[in-house]
Amino acid sequence: MTDDIRRRMFAELDNKQALEAAHEAACRYIDGIADRPVFPSPAALQALDRFDHPLPDEPGDAMAVVRELDETGAPATVAQIGGRYFGFVNGGVVPASLAARWLTDAWDQNTPLYLTSPIAARLESVCEGWLRDLFGLPPETVAGFVSGTSLSNVCALAAARQRILTRLGWDVARRGLDGAPRLRIIASRAAHATVSRAIALLGFGLDRVEWVAADDQGRIDPAGLPALDSTCILVLQAGNVNSGAFDDFATLCPRAREQGAWTHIDGAFGLWAAASAGLRHLTAGIEHADSWSFDGHKTLNTPYDNGVLLCRDRDALVDALQATGAYIEYGDQRDGMQHTPEMSRRGRVFELWAALKYLGRSGIDELVLGLHQRAAQFAAELAAEDFEIINDVVFNQVLVACGDDTATDATLAAVQRSGECWVGGTNWRQRRAIRISVCSWATTEADVTRSVRALVAARNSLPGTT
């Protein structure tokens, strides 16, 4: 690096103009979030072509970089931190958690070991204990802090494979899977795509999964469960991605434990129901499972990316995710990379800690229950306008139809074009449906009513309607 570039960057750190410009731009963005179209306009999307230019030959100006990102990039964002984004299970953002991210991004911590970031190691231990307490999990449960449920599902199934094969006398890390004893994977046909991805990545083979039928709400059918044994990994679900339904943990988890099977609960957004007194019945029995996965960036409304794996068998998790090297020095403090597959790893625990610390037990309860209340409001107001609600609204998901599939898709397209709110489409039990996911603390009763009006207007704009 030349002295000229180094001097320039030292000057930018010293004068802080680019940092202050970024802060001002971020504050303007937040100030205007309520009035911003929920999805970018065609003009904003077309303007993204400005980014398609050759890589510059020479260093530029930090202020110009920030300005280009603000002026051209911001209008092309999806306003998911506002109150009228319902397209995917994307949470908003708790202000204290966002502020913690801004601060700790400046720290730029790498968090695999205590030696690389003592503060991250300590807060991971703190959050681990808080999460065990919130969800009512066994005291031996440990946490791994990863990017999201996609990766935490992989880690959980890797730990399950490690434990079962070790019991069978097979060292999978050294001997691989060729010739290994066969393990059985049992999962619902309504399982999330991240479960299938984890199964495929770990080499279990999708064609070898024992798929179990689901009921009309997407819950695994206990009557269809095959006989379990100590070679089995049973995957259950807390919060179906379409209907929001929860499997019967109180029945299935003890049954699996009695037979020596490993139970994993994919709870990306739904596991948080365990933290709400009014919704905790949905997760009764989860304490009998062996591993759990969920996201902070969904229901808890932390910034992205913020996933967590919880596992009651620390040795299995550590052995499955082992990492060694002459330069890697584990100590007697928490070394977080033993619980994750990553070595270089940003300090995502900071914003998780901030959200938990800020909200506290009662605030988390209110946030989680509030999502359900707004979903129930959606269902009631849409039903009053003659929309068909095709799921039982037990948590934060609402499935809506407008007669036949053609009318449903046309209504969906019209409301998306309006920019008033953003809802997604899905296929549910051989039907097209509008899928409404209520995920943001910022969604108010007025936001729901405004969005219902937008859906009514979209449906009424179709040819042949009045």
What pLDDT does residue 192 have?
A: 95
Whole-number Å distance between alpha carbons of 6 and 18 = 16
R_g over Cα of the chain: 24
Q: List, in order, residues 6 or more apart from 243 with CB less than 8 Å away.
A: 217, 218, 391, 392, 394, 397, 399, 428
d(CA 216, CA 85): 27
Question: Is the predicted pLDDT of residue 349 greater than 70, yes or no?
Answer: yes
Q: Sign of the CA dihedral 436, 439, 440, 441? A: positive
Listed residue (347, 369, 359, 361) closest to 438, CA to CA: 369
Helix (H, G, I), strand (E, B) or coil at 138: coil
- Contact by Cβ (8 Å): 395, 271: no
pLDDT of residue 3: 79
Predicted pLDDT of residue 466: 61
Cβ-based burial of 13 (10 A; exposed 0-12, middle 13-18, buried ≥19): exposed
d(CA 12, CA 277): 50
Q: Is the bond preceding 305 in cis, omega lying within 30 degrees of 0? A: yes
**120-152 per-position pLDDT tens digit:** 999 999 999 999 999 999 999 999 999 999 999
pLDDT at 326: 66
Q: In angstroms, what CA-CA distances link 233 with 144, 197, 210, 219, 260?
A: 20, 15, 10, 17, 10
Is residue 1 predicted with pLDDT exceeding 70?
no
Helix (H, G, I), strand (E, B) or coil at 312: coil
Calpha distance 40→418 (Å, rounded): 11
At 226, phi and psi to the nearest 5?
A: -70, 170
Amino acid at 375: A
Cis peptide before 52 (omega within 30 of 0): no
Task: Tell me what pLDDT residue 324 has.
Answer: 75
**Residue 463 pLDDT:** 87
Confidence at 330, pLDDT banded by 50, 70, 90:
confident
Residues 165 and 317: their CA atoms lie apart, in Å, by: 13
Residue 117 has pLDDT above 80, yes or no: yes
pTM, rounded to two decimals = 0.96
CB 358 within 8 A of CB 97: yes
Name the pairing type of β-strands 262-266 and 232-237: parallel
Domain ranges of the chain: 3-79, 100-355
pLDDT tens for 30-86 read 999 988 899 999 999 999 999 999 999 999 999 999 999 999 999 999 999 999 999
Whether the per-residue pLDDT at 5 is higher than 70: the answer is: yes
The CATH T-level fold of domain 100-355 is Aspartate Aminotransferase; domain 2 (3.40.640)
- Write the single-letter amino acid at 1: M
Can you tell me the mean pLDDT for 1-23?
91
Provide the total of helices (H) and of strands (E) in the chain, helices listed first.
14, 12
Structure token digits, residue 327: 């330069």
pLDDT digits (tens, 9 = 90+) for 285-321: 999 999 999 999 999 999 999 999 999 999 999 999 9
Helix or strand (DSSP H, E) at 186: strand 184-188
What count of residues does the chain have? 466
For residues 362 and 288, what is the distance between their CA atoms, to the nearest angstrom? Answer: 25
